[in-house]
Homo-oligomer: A and B are copies of this chain.
Amino acid sequence: MPTPLALAVDFGGTKVEAALVDVEGRVVPGTRHRRPTGPTATTDDLDAAVAEVVGATRASLPDDAELAGLGAGVAGPIDVATGRVSPLNVPAWRGHPLRDRLVDLVPGVPVVLRIDGLCIALAEHWVGAAAGTRGENLMGMVVSTGVGGGLVIGGRAVASPTGNGGHIGHIEVGGFDDRCSCGGRGCLEAIASGPRTVAWARTQGFTGTTGEDLARAHAAGDPVALAAVERSGTAIGQAIASATNLLDLDLVAIGGGFSRVSPALFDHARAAVAERTGFAFATRVEIVPSGLSDEGPLIGAAALVHRPELVV
């Protein structure tokens, strides 16, 4: 019998990637391909980039394997009913029929498209921080250029009616008033994303410009960097407290580039949850680093193919 492999696609604001993934959630070495996307790409550029990574990955299918399906995780918002996507940071695509394009690229192969946050939550549940016995209610979070995520409730990823559930970055945070691009006040993303944290630090005299600069300054004990990481970590904890008051979460797994600015980010988040909710069911939530490498989104996209029973 041929080995069933999923063709996993991860489409985001800076790049599109594809790879083959096996039924254990392992990326097959040598099958991962990448192209840039970005805010200045035209819709034709983007379609070409997707076709190139899908074609290259498909061409690397071993002779003793078969394509079980194509699973795609895409930056939101999306419309799961029509398969059209409108990634916030990719202005050329508004209502772009990405699922139809993917179907055309792999005729006869089942195609499933979901938001990237759902794929991340699914990957944490399948092979990441929540694999095994760490609970049935969990949130996967990404703290990076933006703040996003996805939910697993009762052991299954929540696809949600339009496909857009999991926007933890747009939970408002008490005591903050910063206007968010979504129109909210004090949304988590407007406070705790990498760029927003750096921007706040600069208002306090920090002279670096990147999350990496802030990480180095934090490691060196710079007081402004310490304060910036505390402020963002606390806000992350406040948003998690709100989410777990609502959802009775077992676990929150946080990945993304800026989540690695310092382990102190996690300590501040945990302290905020402990302080900010008097409910034992809420303070029990574990906050841990993602158990996934940068292959996480691809693995989650592959889970859409290999483990459809894990999605509501």
Once the chains are docked, how many angstroms separate the CA of A154 from the CA of B152? Answer: 12
Residues of B with C-beta under 8 A to A137:
160-161, 165
Once the chains are docked, how many angstroms separate the CA of A207 from the CA of B136? Answer: 49
Contact A277 B162 (CB under 8 A): no
Contact B162 A153 (CB under 8 A): no
Chain B proximity mask over A210-235: 1 for CB below 8 Å, otherwise 0: 00000000000000000000000000
Contact B276 A185 (CB under 8 A): yes
CB distance from A221 to the nearest CB of B (A): 28
Once the chains are docked, how many angstroms separate the CA of A241 from the CA of B284? Answer: 25
A164 nearest CB neighbor, chain B only: B281
Once the chains are docked, how many angstroms separate the CA of A288 from the CA of B196? Answer: 36
Chain A interface size range: 35 or more
Chain B proximity mask over A131-162: 1 for CB below 8 Å, otherwise 0: 00001110000000000000101100011111
Once the chains are docked, how many angstroms separate the CA of A79 from the CA of B198? Answer: 42
The verdict on A173 contacting chain B, using a C-beta distance below 8 Å, is yes
Contact A172 B170 (CB under 8 A): no
Q: Which of B167, B176, B246 contacts A167 (CB 8 A)?
A: B246
Q: Which of B162, B247, B277, B284 contacts A183 (CB 8 A)?
A: B277
The verdict on A1 contacting chain B, using a C-beta distance below 8 Å, is no
Once the chains are docked, how many angstroms separate the CA of A284 from the CA of B165? Answer: 13
Residues of B with C-beta under 8 A to A238:
172, 184-185
Contact A183 B276 (CB under 8 A): yes
The verdict on A168 contacting chain B, using a C-beta distance below 8 Å, is yes
Chain B proximity mask over A186-198: 1 for CB below 8 Å, otherwise 0: 1100000000000
Residues of B with C-beta under 8 A to A171:
171-172, 242, 245-246
A241 nearest CB neighbor, chain B only: B184
Contact A247 B176 (CB under 8 A): no
Q: Which of B184, B248, B276, B312 contacts A160 (CB 8 A)?
A: B248
For window 271-311 of A, CB contacts with B under 8 Å fall at 275-282, 284
Q: Which of B160, B163, B181, B281 contacts A77 (CB 8 A)?
A: B281
A-B contact pairs, 9 of them (CB 8 A): A162-B281, A164-B279, A164-B281, A170-B245, A171-B172, A172-B174, A172-B175, A182-B276, A182-B279
Closest 7 CB pairs of A and B: A174-B186, A172-B174, A160-B248, A174-B185, A170-B245, A165-B248, A167-B245
Instruction: List 16 additional contacts besides A174-B174, A174-B184; criterion CB under 8 Å.
Output: A151-B246, A162-B248, A162-B281, A162-B284, A164-B281, A165-B248, A170-B242, A170-B282, A171-B172, A175-B177, A184-B242, A184-B276, A184-B277, A185-B276, A242-B242, A243-B246
Q: Which residues of A are in contact with B by a Cβ distance under 8 Å?
A: 77, 135-137, 151, 153-154, 158-168, 170-177, 181-187, 238-239, 241-243, 245-248, 250, 275-282, 284, 312
